[in-house]
């Protein structure tokens, strides 16, 4: 049983000053893994004060010194990679294979990418008769979710430290084990006291305290659009910078003439990866109307072959939904899809056959849907795919863009035609023919999917201010 009763503030582990706690639940068994202390206003005050006091000295350090600290963090992370994978699998239910090969290594990959980018970044340049300096944005509040714990944490922490910022990290209370392990790694790397601070807390209570404090210069949040609106409102009175990576309802356009077997198979598997709990998941599959029946058969067969079960089993492809609250939301939206008249091709409400405990959902595919249905409009954040027929490419593009979101998109088919269609999509990223994520490319969204960009060069820029020296 894990007992996380302390926060990491000002270079040391300190007990909470607040009498509130949260059970850490294994989503595969619904059994407690331990208990987590939740922060209150006094804890937030201590963390912000520490980060604020440390900023002047840390931001003044030479770049190479800051990167030396990052290198030590990278080495510590690499040494504890198996521990990190196990922590992620236990806390949010990722199959151990996924946690070991993708989830945990993503944090390591962001560290490596940040080091490469920072060593080549033009922190000082000349324009006309002036010197342009890029310097640390200041004291940062980083608020991260539970679905890809180390991916989301490290794509913020690594560039913030490289830029010379000090920070307060509030990871999700549903993913505390991996964050605690990271804090141990950072402590062992010897960062100066106050540079990195971490506390747990309920987002609705702690988020406004961090966002509204005048000593915080920048808030970077990954979460729901509702959370992003709240952070923006709380940050506005002090006119601080806000970077938001929010929800998505990404369209996956299968072009006429594409290899339907490959396209549908890839689309379904990409949707069910991480139990559908990815903000950029291809949750709307747009299929030529004349090929819809064939696509449905392929999708059903793919779902039939997805092994759902114990995350510790090496053969498991899809684990549980990460927590009870999200499980109930997914079940409710599946029921809503049935109520609104969409046709079930695979899955449906309830748990998979033979499973009686844990927050396991069935890989579910709806078809015969239209873009006005709830399952086509709302981010479900679970293993639920909605297939929508289209008559021509103009209609497909219109359907894809008819969303409040614009985080990601997918196009599958002839490369030249796919590139042409991709350029018409109002979305921050487009995967063409199954292309994998690129940590050097910008990640972020249009519309209500967010503000700003993360990853690589673009992620480092988020944590920098621009100063002009006029000579």
Instruction: Give the catalytic positions in this structure.
Output: 245
Q: Do 229 and 107 meet the contact criterion of CB atoms below 8 Å apart?
A: no
Identify the bridge partners of residue 467 per DSSP, sorted by sequence position.
133
- Measure Cα distances from 302 to 61, 102, 261, 369 in Å: 53, 21, 10, 19
Whose CA is closest to 25, among 92, 97, 84?
A: 92
Whose CA is closest to 160, among 441, 445, 442, 465?
A: 465
Supply 457's token pair: 């060069």
- Measure Cα distances from 271 to 92, 163, 276, 351, 471 in Å: 17, 35, 5, 18, 54
**How far is Cα 434 from Cα 400, in angstroms, rounded to an integer?**
17
Q: Do 132 and 126 meet the contact criterion of CB atoms below 8 Å apart?
A: yes
Whose CA is closest to 470, among 135, 133, 130?
A: 130
Q: Do 377 and 249 meet the contact criterion of CB atoms below 8 Å apart?
A: yes
**How far is Cα 29 from Cα 320, in angstroms, rounded to an integer?**
9
Q: Do 232 and 208 meet the contact criterion of CB atoms below 8 Å apart?
A: no
Scanning the structure block, which residue is given the tokens 């490469």? Answer: 116
The secondary structure of residue 238, as a DSSP letter, is G
User: Nearest 5°: phi and psi at 43?
Assistant: -70, -40
Scanning the structure block, which residue is given the tokens 């103009």? Answer: 394
């Amino acid at each position: 049983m894990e007992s996380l009763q302390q926060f990491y503030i000002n270079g040391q582990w300190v007990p909470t000053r607040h009498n509130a706690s949260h059970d850490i639940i294994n989503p595969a068994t619904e059994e407690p893994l331990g208990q987590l202390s939740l922060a209150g206003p006094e804890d937030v005050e201590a963390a912000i004060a520490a980060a604020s006091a440390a900023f002047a000295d840390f931001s003044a350090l030479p770049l190479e010194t800051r990167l030396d600290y990052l290198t030590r963090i990278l080495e510590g992370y690499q040494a504890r990679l198996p521990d990190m994978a196990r922590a992620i699998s236990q806390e949010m239910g990722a199959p151990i294979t996924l946690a070991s090969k993708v989830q945990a290594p993503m944090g390591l990959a962001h560290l490596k990418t940040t080091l490469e980018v920072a060593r080549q970044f033009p922190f000082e340049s000349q324009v006309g008769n002036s010197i342009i300096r890029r310097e640390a944005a200041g004291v940062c509040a980083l608020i991260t979710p539970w679905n890809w714990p180390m991916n989301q944490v490290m794509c913020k922490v690594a560039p913030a430290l490289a830029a010379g910022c000090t920070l307060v990290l509030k990871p999700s209370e549903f993913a505390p084990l991996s964050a605690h392990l990271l804090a141990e790694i950072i402590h062992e790397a010897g960062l100066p006291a106050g540079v990195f601070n971490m506390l747990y807390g309920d987002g609705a209570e702690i988020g406004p305290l961090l966002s509204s404090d005048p000593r915080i210069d920048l808030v970077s949040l990954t979460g729901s659009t509702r959370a992003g609106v709240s952070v923006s409102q709380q940050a506005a009175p002090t006119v601080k910078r806000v970077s938001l990576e929010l929800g998505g309802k990404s369209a996956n356009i299968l072009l006429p003439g594409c290899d339907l077997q490959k396209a549908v198979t890839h689309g379904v598997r990409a949707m069910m990866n991480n139990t559908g709990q990815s903000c950029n998941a291809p949750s709307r599959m747009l299929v030529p109307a004349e090929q819809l029946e064939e696509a449905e058969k392929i999708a059903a067969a793919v779902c039939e072959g997805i092994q759902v079960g114990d995350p510790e089993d090496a053969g498991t492809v899809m684990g549980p939904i990460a927590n009870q609250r999200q499980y109930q939301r997914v079940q409710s939206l599946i029921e809503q899809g049935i109520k609104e008249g969409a046709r079930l091709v695979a899955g449906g409400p309830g748990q998979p056959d033979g499973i009686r405990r844990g927050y396991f959902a069935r890989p579910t595919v709806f078809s015969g849907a239209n873009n006005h249905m709830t399952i086509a409009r709302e981010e479900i954040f679970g293993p639920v795919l909605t297939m929508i027929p289209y008559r021509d490419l103009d209609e497909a593009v219109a359907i894809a863009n008819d969303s409040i979101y614009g985080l990601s998109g997918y196009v599958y088919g002839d490369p030249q035609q796919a590139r042409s269609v991709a350029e018409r999509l109002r979305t921050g990223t487009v995967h063409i023919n199954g292309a994998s994520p690129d940590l050097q490319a910008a990640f972020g969204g249009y519309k209500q999917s967010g503000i700003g960009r993360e990853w690589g060069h673009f992620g480092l820029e988020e944590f920098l201010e621009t100063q002009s020296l006029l000579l």
